[in-house]
Structure 1
Amino acid sequence: MQMISLPLFWTIILDIIAWFFFHMIISVLCFKLPLASFQNNAFWSRIYRWEDSGNLWHRLFRVKSWKGRLIDGASLFKKGYQKKTLHGVNRSELKTFAEETKRAELTHWASILPAPLFFLWNPPLAGFLMIVYAVVFNLPFIITQRYNRGRIEKMLS
């Protein structure tokens, strides 16, 4: 329900600033989580049998053909973990990579959550468009992390 009414220009400016703020805050908070937080196999990060070790994502979306064009959020942080390529193939490096894909996936799931707040200052149609934006923008990153982690977990088993 729209509680704040602004001229269109200021609504658009507020939308841009708000999305930038939410993306940055969520990214920083997830980056600050210790890597040990991602050693578990939580329901949201578990690779399920139906995902066929990540191959499902390639069959449905041809992930290999576009994943290299996605921006790696680690480039925003000097100490971020780059996920464009494997850092090595020993067990320890593969586990670290898999944990970092969980961190990235959590970041993108959490980045969808603020979308309903945009109904506070946007008309209903624009509020729904903000939800669509949040899902469409973050889903390729989520799919890529699940695809990569499925392949890594297969290598580890």
Structure 2
Amino acid sequence: MQLISFSLFWTIAIDIGAWVFFHLAISALCLRLPLSTFQNNAFWSRIYPWEKSGALWDKLFRVKAWKGRLIDGATLFRSGYQKKTLHGKGKADLQMFALETKRAELTHWLSILPAPLFFLWNPASVGWLMIVYAIVFNLPFIVTQRYNRGRISKMLS
């Protein structure tokens, strides 16, 4: 339900500014989480047998064909861990990469959560559009992290 009304110009400006703020704030928050946070095998981050070590994601979405075109948000932060390529092929390198895919996946799941706030200053139809945007924008990143982590898990076992 729209509680605040702005002109079209200011609504669009606030929408853009709010998304930039939420994406950057959530990313910065997740970067501050200690790596030990991701060493568990939480339900949201574990790779399930039905994912076939990530192969399911490539079969459904052809991840290999487009994942290289995604922006690596780690480049925006000095302490970010870039995931465009492996940092090494040793066991420790693969484990670190897998942990960082969990961090990235959590970041993108959390980046969907602010979408309902846009109903406060947008008409309902635009509020729903913001929810669609949040899902459509973040889903490729979530799928890519699950795909990569599944492959890494297979390499480590």
TM-score, length-scaled by structure 1: 0.99
Between 85-94 and 132-141, report the one with greater CA deviation: 85-94
Gaps of 5+ in 1: none
Alpha-carbon distance in structure 2 between the residues aligned to 1:48 and 1:101: 15
Alpha-carbon distance in structure 2 between the residues aligned to 1:55 and 1:115: 30
Counterpart AA for 1:69: R
Q: 1:118 — aligned with what?
A: 118
Alpha-carbon distance in structure 1 between the residues aligned to 2:76 and 2:5: 34
Partner SS state of residue 80, structure 2? coil
After superposing on structure 2, the runs of 4+ consecutive aligned residues of structure 1 that deviate more than 2 Å are: none
Partner SS state of residue 112, structure 1? coil
Deviation at 1:79, TM superposition (A): 2.1
Deviation at 1:111, TM superposition (A): 0.2
1:35-82 CA-partner distances (Å, limit 9, x unpaired): 111011000000001100000000000000000000101101112111
Deviation at 1:13, TM superposition (A): 0.5
Q: 1:143 — aligned with what?
A: 143
TM-score, length-scaled by structure 2: 0.99
Deviation at 1:6, TM superposition (A): 1.0
Task: Determine if the alignment matches structure 1 residue 99 to structure 2 residue 99.
Answer: yes
Alpha-carbon distance in structure 2 between the residues aligned to 1:44 and 1:74: 21
Alpha-carbon distance in structure 2 between the residues aligned to 1:48 and 1:89: 23
Partner SS state of residue 40, structure 1? coil
